[in-house]
Amino acid sequence: PFVMSPLPAAPAASAIDALKTPPVAAASGAAKEATGGAARVADMGAPLPARPRAESRADPPARESRASLSRSTSMSAVASYKETELKSVMGQGTYGAVYRGLCRGEAVAVKIMSLQRDTAEDIKREIKLMRDCDCGNIVSYRDAFVKEHEMRRMLWVVMELCEMGSALDVMKRQKGPLDETSIAWICKGVLAALDYMHSIRKAIHRDIKAANILLKSDGVVKVADLGVAAQLFNTMSKRGTMIGTPHWMAPETLAQMGDDSTYDTKVDIWSLGITLIELAQMQPPYADTRSVFKVMMLIAHSAPPTLDEATQATPLFHDLIATLLVKDASQRPSAADLLDSELIKNADSTGLRQLLTVQAAQKLEQVSRSREQSESGLSEKERAESIEKTMQL
DSSP conformation letters of 219-287:
S-EEE---TT-EETT-TT--TTS--S-GGG--HHHHH--STT----THHHHHHHHHHHHHHHHSS-TTT
Domain spans, the chain: 12-160, 167-351, 352-392
Grouping H, G, I as helix, E, B as strand and the rest as coil, residue 1 is coil
Beta bridge partners of 99: 89, 110
Task: Name the residues annotated as catalytic.
Answer: 207
Radius of gyration, CA atoms only, the chain: 22
CATH 1.10.510.10 fits domain 167-351: yes
Q: Is 281 exposed, middle or buried (0-12, 13-18, 19+ CB in 10 A)?
A: middle
The rounded distance, in Å, linking the Cα atoms of 38 and 27 is: 17
- For residue 96, the model assigns a pLDDT of 76
The rounded distance, in Å, linking the Cα atoms of 357 and 84 is: 27
DSSP assignment letter at 258: S
CB 57 within 8 A of CB 336: yes
DSSP assignment letter at 101: E
Superfamily of domain 12-160 in CATH is Phosphorylase Kinase; domain 1 (3.30.200.20)
The contacts of residue 310 (CB under 8 Å, 6+ apart) are none
CB 267 within 8 A of CB 241: no
Q: Give the closest residue to 125 by CA, choosing from 47, 52, 225.
A: 225
pLDDT in tens, the chain (393 residues): 444 444 344 444 444 444 444 433 443 443 444 334 333 333 444 444 444 444 445 444 444 444 443 443 444 444 689 999 999 888 776 667 889 999 999 999 998 988 777 777 777 777 887 888 899 999 998 988 889 998 888 889 899 999 999 999 999 999 999 999 999 999 999 999 999 999 998 889 988 999 999 999 999 999 988 765 555 544 333 444 555 578 999 999 887 554 445 678 999 999 999 999 999 999 999 999 989 899 999 999 999 999 999 999 999 999 999 999 999 999 999 999 999 999 999 999 999 999 999 999 988 887 777 766 665 666 666 666 665 555 555
Angle between helices 33-41 and 23-31 (to 10 degrees): 120
CB 251 within 8 A of CB 269: no
- 325: number of Cβ within 10 Å: 23
Inter-CA distances, 44 with 14, 37, 179, 205, 280, Å: 12, 11, 43, 24, 41
CB 195 within 8 A of CB 204: no
Cα 69 to the center of its chain, rounded Å: 16
Same CATH fold assignment for domains 12-160 and 167-351: no
Q: Give the closest residue to 101 by CA, choosing from 89, 87, 82.
A: 87
CB 144 within 8 A of CB 113: no
